Structure formats: structure tokens, C-alpha cells
Chain A
Amino acid sequence: MAAPLRLKPLSRVAVSGGTHGNEMSGIYLAKHWLRDPRELQRSSFTITPFLSNLRAIEKCVRYVGQDLNRSFTTEFLSSVKAENEPYELNLAREINQTYGPKGSAQAFDFMFDLHNTTANMGTCLIVDSEENLLSMHMCHYIQTHYRLSPCPIYLYKSPDEEPYTIYSVAKAGLALELGPQAQGVVRADLFAQMRALIACGLDFIELFNKGTVFPAFEIEVYKFTGIVDYPRYPDGEISAMVHPKLQDKDFHPLNPGDPIFQTFSGEEVLYEGNVTIYPAFINEAAYYEKQIAFVKLEKHIFSIPSLQRE
């Protein structure tokens, strides 16, 4: 059994809405909390809601110049301001100044980031890797206390990749990915789910700060292993759609030989991998341009040591 983990209490927590300007649950929540933050407040830490990409929110688009949530690498954050650079590059530096700097002692202790997807991912929790033990404990707490739907845990980071998301400027973080919801639409059901998940995450921090001992546990997670692009014509245009049998089946097992695409003439394209995988982000609108039809995940079980305040 791994040694118990002891961490300093968290004093500054942030929650970002509108990192993508057309994912409406977080935008409406953050706007509401900026007007009236009472429901976020707990006694042992401060919480700062903010709208991260105002220009994209204004235009109801994912981003203006480049994807903000891919802009928090050291390379981007340390770049020198240039005249024709994408809007989000400077925005990332500003956010890093306010809530980071990334990797420094002054950085915020924790950041939540609120997202929606057009894929049927339910109430998904996204963490960079299982090495982030505080976030893993929060996910476990949410899974055991938020009972309305299962909360699959998605670990997005490849082993030698640097974290690039907005919450990587804080010392730890968690993204909520709720779907299905069309871009530009706010649905009452997902709005309520996201609100309840944040309340649950904040309760966890409060308990941790007050000295609660969180015992060790084993937890099932889905870990990113790769992507699958759409079949395409030579000119780059997609030549097939996600197969009806795969559509909406995020986190369901996909076996070699299962259909994954259907061409416009009705032919099936089958999955040719060697092992069972678990697809997610199936038919996400924003990923057509990233050449991703779905991501491939592997199921793992990790042992997480107990956690207590220092």
C-alpha cells in the first residue's frame, strides 16, 4: 500500500466558464455566479468564477484565433507578444498571470473548467493523469456522492506530453465535460447536472481543508490511447459518417470487427484494431477540424493512496 498522501489545504480555487465560447452550460453558470456567488462559497477557501474567452462567448464560437484550451504549454506561455498573433495566445498569457504562473508557488491551488460536448459522454470528469492524486480523490468523492448519473473519469494526457489545458496553470484541476448538448444551446438538465457536480467538488475541498481523512481506494478510469479520423476523399473531405451503431455509444466497448463508419453509399467500415477499446468524443462537432471522429480509450484500474491535510 502506498504511503498516505499529505497535502497543504487549498486556499484559492477558480472556476472557468466559456473556455470554448459556444459551450453554454458553463457560460450560463459562470455568468450567474459572477452576479451572485453565494452558492459557491465555503468557509475554508475563496472561490473565483470567471469567463475565460469573452470574445468567443460574444460571438458564440469555440475560439477566435486558436483553441484556448490547447494554448497553455510552456512554449505558448513564454512566447513574446507579436502583432498578428492569435487572440487566444495573449489571453492564455493573461490567464496564466492571474491564476498561475503555471508551475509556480503563487499559482491557484485548484481550477475547475466547464465544458460541453455534442457526444453522448454524460457527466464526464477529465483529469490530466492518475498522478494528480488530489484530483483523483475529488473524482472519487464525486462518483460516490453525485448519484444521478455515472461519472466516467477520462485521463487525457499522453505520458511524455506537457499538460496544455487552462486548468494546468493551477496546481491541480478538473474539467467537467457534459453532453450531449448542441453548440450554442443551453439545456436545463445539463445545466443542473453541472451545477450539482461543482457543488460536490467544492464540498470535497471543504472537507479536505477541515481535516477529513480520505481512505485509499481503487478506481476505474479511461485513459487516452489515440484517435481515429473519418475516412476521407483525396481532397480531404469526409467520405463516411459515424455508424449508427457507434453513434451515442461513448464509453461502451468497441471490439475488432464492429462497424464504426458508414459511407454515403451505405457501405460499412469496421474497426480493425487488435483489442477492445472504449470510444469517447464520438461525433464531437468541434473535432471535425481536428480530424478526430472519436478518441480511443483503455480501461485501467489504479490504486490511489489515502489523503489528508498536512
Chain B
Amino acid sequence: MTSCYVVHEAPVRRVAIFGGTHGNELSGVFLVKHWQENGAEIQRTSLEVKPFITNPRAVKKCTRYIDCDLNRVFDSDNLGMQVMDNIPYEVRRAQEINHIFGPKDSDDAYDLIFDLHNTTSNMGGTLILENSRNNFIIQMFHYIKNALTPNSCPVFLIEHPNLKYATTRSIAKHPIGVEVGPQPQGVLRADILDKMRKIIKHGLDFVHIFNEGKEFPPCTIEVYKIMEKVDFPRNKNDEITAVIHPSLQDQDWQPLNNGDPIFLTIDGETITYEGDSTVYPTFVNEAAYYEKKQAFVKTVKIKLTAKGIRSSFS
């Protein structure tokens, strides 16, 4: 027993599963609605699991958001904004969610939140990590990756001084994003829903085993760390003048090297990647990111090691 490498972590008793943070990403919307009616498959004896639709108005309209992106407004400015008539719907909703599942950064906050998303990019079943030092989540991701073998389960680390954003799930002590694609907005695919469902199953299993007192030895996982956003080439009127090159399209998580094509102009000219080091693009051609001026995100591959963990009360 290498108990000197084991840290004691509080048990994870209160878990929420969020669907519909973006109202047109349908896997999470329909899974959460299904679990609200019939939750047997998400119940575990050592924890409470609450499935919850976060943006019901956007779900009803089958649109990403009504006034602004709900998944960007869980910062102290928005959560503390005084409620007035002209406050954007999603800011008001964020305050309600924070009231139920938070308050963010307090002892009363939920222990863990899974937030379910889809992308039009070919990202497969991706896990999103916000903090590279969260031993518990790294251990969970290690467990999920093993459980899903031989299928891959990339981990996307969004920790970055400027690029990290204030997610809905960030009110929990352990925030977990689940991003599965490719799936068009407003479409529900059985294969994509199944991938998401398996990730949640293994994630909940991990929490339960942990709560029951199992010790998890130190582990190391490979993650893709966000480095930079890349916009489409544009003309002086801000219109897009080139599209994702066919040899980059659908190649999320594949190495991109100096000289590789990234864009193709309408006139047929290839624009190549110029950089000294290999990067791993992701969110390649995500529909919702055109308005955010983002054609893809560059990541680098790094390894993260988690300490061994064990529940502090078992």
C-alpha cells in the first residue's frame, strides 16, 4: 500500500446531470428528459443524482440560446447582476441555477455536475477538464477511458489565462463537460446518444466505487490542452473568404504539422498551417463558433498525473 501518495477526498454525494445548456444539442436534452421520467439507470446507492434541463426556453425553440450563451455567464459579474427588466434571459437563468446547485465556490454547492453537449465537429466522445490539478476528476477520466477501451475518449483541458470561460457546470466542486460529435444541431442520432450515455454510466460508477471506499492509486492520462483559437480568413467586410480544407475537415485530434493545409479559399487556393510544433486541432468547423470567430482550436498533447485518492469517510 502506497498510502503516502494517497490524498483523502470528500465523498461525492450530490451529483447533477445538465442537459440543454445549449437548446439545440439534443443528446443531452433527450437523455435528461428520459432520466427525469425513468431514472433507474442513473441511480447509485451512495449518491443522489439530479437530471436537470438548464435552458428550457432555448430547448423549446431548439436554438443554442435566447439572449446570450448560458455556458459563458457563470462569472461573478453575471451571477451578482441585479435583476432588472432588461437582464438577458440566460443571466437570470444562470442566477436561478446558481441558487439551486451552487452557490459557486461555496460549501453548499453540488459536489459534481456533468454538463452534456454536442458538437458538429468530429470530436467523438470527449471529456472536458477545467482544472489540471483536480485529482478526483483526473482519476475519474482515467477510469472512464479504461472502461471505454478500445474506443478512444479524448480529454480536452480548457485551463487557460484568457481562453477559459465561465461554464454552467463551474458552480460545482467538480465540473465535467461531456462533448459528443459529430451531430448537427437539432438532430438526435442514436449512435451519438449511446456514446454519451456510456460516458455517464462509467462516470457514475466511478463516483459510487469511490464513495464506497475504494482506493485509486496515482495515475497518468494524456490530455489535449487548449493553446489558441484560429479564425477563418476574412475580407475587409468581415466575410469568410475560405472554408476548412477538406484534409482538415473531420480530423479533430489528429496531428497538424507545419505546411499542412488548413483552409481552402473560394478561388481554390490552399492556406497552410505555419508553426514550429505539431498541434492537435479540435472543434474543427463547429457551427456555433462561426459567430465566435473560431474555425478551430489548437491544442497540444500533455500528460497529467493525479495523486492516489480515497474517500475521507467510507
Contacts and interface: CB of A to CB of B under 8 A. Distances in A.
A264 B31 CA distance: 8
Nearest to A192: B246
Given A184-B288, A187-B243, A264-B34, A244 B186 contact: no
Contact of B243 (A28, A60, A247, A284): A28
A32 B235 CA distance: 12
Nearest to A261: B190
B120 A182 contact: yes
Contact of B186 (A183, A189, A262): A183
Contacts of A10: none
Contacts of A32: 266
B184 A180 contact: yes
B184 A285 contact: yes
Interface string A183-212: 111111101000000000000000000000
Interface string B220-247: 0000000000000000000110011110
A200 B240 CA distance: 26
A188 B264 contact: yes
B8 interface: no
Contacts of A131: none
A286 interface: yes
B249 interface: yes
Given A32-B266, A182-B287, A285-B184, A187 B189 contact: no
Nearest to B40: A265
B266 A118 contact: no
Contacts of A244: 190-191
Contact of A183 (B191, B266, B287): B287
A285 B266 contact: no
Contacts of B244: 187-188
A262 B291 CA distance: 35
A237 interface: yes
Give the interface SS of chain A, mostly helix, strand, loop or mixed: loop
Contacts of A181: 184
Contacts of A182: 120, 182-185, 187, 287
Nearest to A179: B184
Interface in B224-281: 239-240, 243-246, 249, 264, 266
Contacts of A185: 120, 184, 285-287
A273 B255 CA distance: 48
Interface string A241-255: 111100100000000
Give the interface SS of chain B, mostly helix, strand, loop or mixed: loop
A184 B290 contact: yes
A247 B190 contact: yes
Contact of A286 (B34, B186, B191): B186
Contacts of B290: 60, 184
Nearest to B120: A182
B249 A187 contact: yes
Interface in B181-211: 182-191, 193
A283 B185 CA distance: 11
A288 interface: yes
A241 B182 CA distance: 16
Interface string A93-116: 000000000000000000000000
Contacts of B184: 118, 180-183, 185, 285
A180 B243 CA distance: 17
| B188, B245, B290, most chain A CB atoms within 10 A | B188
B38 interface: yes
A232 to B, nearest CB: 13
Interface string B274-314: 00000000000111101100000000000000000000000
A31 interface: yes
Interface string B59-93: 00010000000000000000000000000000000
Nearest to A185: B287
B183 to A, nearest CB: 8
A286 B186 CA distance: 8
A237 B185 contact: no
Interface string B40-69: 000000000000000000000010000000
B33 A285 contact: no
Interface in B152-208: 182-191, 193
B41 to A, nearest CB: 9
Contact of B187 (A60, A187, A285, A289): A285
B288 A189 contact: no
Top 8 closest A-B pairs, CB basis? A182-B184, A184-B287, A285-B186, A182-B120, A264-B34, A118-B184, A241-B190, A244-B190
Given A60-B291, A184-B120, A264-B30, 6 more contacts: A183-B185, A184-B290, A186-B243, A241-B189, A242-B189, A265-B38
5 contacts: A242-B188, A242-B189, A244-B191, A283-B187, A285-B186
Interface of A: 28, 31-32, 60, 118, 180-189, 191, 237-238, 241-244, 247, 262, 264-265, 283-286, 288-289
